């Protein structure tokens, strides 16, 4: 049995994941603004530093995995908070815990993305790049120019940024090379307290109007099933992947956008990777 950290463990999908892990006999360090083994507010630097330090102390230098489920949904006038929690609340914590994952030798980390990354229009690419770089002030300023839709745009931008960060980290020697399997799970609408509050708010009609081929919302229990698979030995060959579980919305809106042929401008990067791989031991051993 191992030790896993779950952020957002007090409610919704995070709670369901924590319960599943505990039922499987794992030790869970839950992080949340309330009712967790570690109580910390990830929307500010002090809270993130506290979460990093307290989890590290409880884990004793070794973590067998993590589920980064804490997040802030779309909302007016909270673009900065969305960026703090959804981006830095993942990247700063995972970077700080990387050594503890590496100490386990076979750790698995699941980060929650969203299908909003591929279904939300008007997301400024420059803002995404700045979020990845940790330049939150500049990113939020650009996002707020999308007047009237800055909340959904901030949410989508934050999830695109954290997904890009994960894919870039996942394939490095510090992560994949250290036995850490880092992947992203991108759900669609899941009937959690967050979604229920949106359905009951002034934006409820917009949420209901969003196309959903399955004609039903997902549940926290269904998503936790996917998380458990991604934390299991079945995911040993899963590295830097983005798994979309959204009732078909992404496929409906973008049926031919993925997979797509490798663009010509990416060929030099491919050739460089092929050149480096044998010299750095990144080749299959048969």
User: Which residues are identified as catalytic?
Assistant: 155
Residue 190, helix vs strand vs coil: strand
162 close to 91: Cβ distance less than 8 angstroms: yes
55 close to 89: Cβ distance less than 8 angstroms: no
218 close to 195: Cβ distance less than 8 angstroms: no
The helix (H) or strand (E) run that includes residue 150 is helix 150-170
Structure token pair of residue 240: 């830097």
The DSSP call for residue 172 is S
211: left (phi over 0), alpha (psi -120 to 50) or beta: beta
How far apart CA 7 and CA 67 sit, in angstroms, is 6
How far apart CA 70 and CA 41 sit, in angstroms, is 10
How far apart CA 23 and CA 268 sit, in angstroms, is 48
236 close to 274: Cβ distance less than 8 angstroms: no
Which ranges of 184-219 would DSSP assign to H, the alpha helix? Answer: 193-199, 204-209
């Amino acid at each position: 049995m191992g030790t896993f950290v779950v952020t957002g463990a007090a409610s919704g999908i995070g709670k369901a994941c924590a319960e599943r892990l505990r039922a499987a006999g794992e030790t869970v360090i839950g992080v949340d603004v309330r009712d967790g083994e570690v109580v910390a507010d990830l929307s500010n630097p002090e809270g993130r530093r506290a979460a990093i330090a307290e989890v590290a102390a409880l884990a004793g230098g070794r973590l067998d995995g993590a589920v980064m489920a804490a997040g802030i949904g779309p909302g007016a006038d909270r673009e900065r908070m969305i960026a703090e929690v959804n981006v830095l609340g993942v990247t700063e914590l995972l970077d700080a815990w990387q050594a503890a994952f590496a100490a386990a030798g076979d750790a698995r980390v699941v980060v929650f993305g969203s299908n909003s990354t591929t279904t939300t229009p008007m997301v400024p690419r420059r803002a995404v790049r700045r979020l990845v770089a940790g330049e939150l002030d500049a990113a939020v300023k650009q996002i707020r120019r999308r007047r009237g839709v800055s909340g959904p745009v901030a949410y989508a931008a934050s999830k695109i940024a954290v997904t890009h960060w994960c894919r870039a980290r996942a394939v490095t020697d510090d992560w994949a090379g250290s036995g850490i399997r880092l992947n992203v799970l991108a759900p669609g609408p899941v009937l959690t307290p967050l979604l229920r509050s949106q359905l009951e708010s002034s934006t409820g009609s917009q949420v209901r109007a969003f196309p959903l081929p399955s004609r039903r919302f997902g549940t926290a229990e269904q998503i936790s099933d996917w998380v458990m698979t991604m934390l299991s030995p079945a995911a040993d060959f899963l590295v830097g992947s983005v798994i979309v579980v959204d009732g078909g919305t992404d496929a409906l809106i973008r049926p031919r956008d993925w997979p797509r042929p490798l663009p010509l401008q990416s060929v030099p990067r491919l050739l460089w990777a092929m050149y480096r791989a044998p010299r750095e031991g990144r080749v299959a051993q048969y």
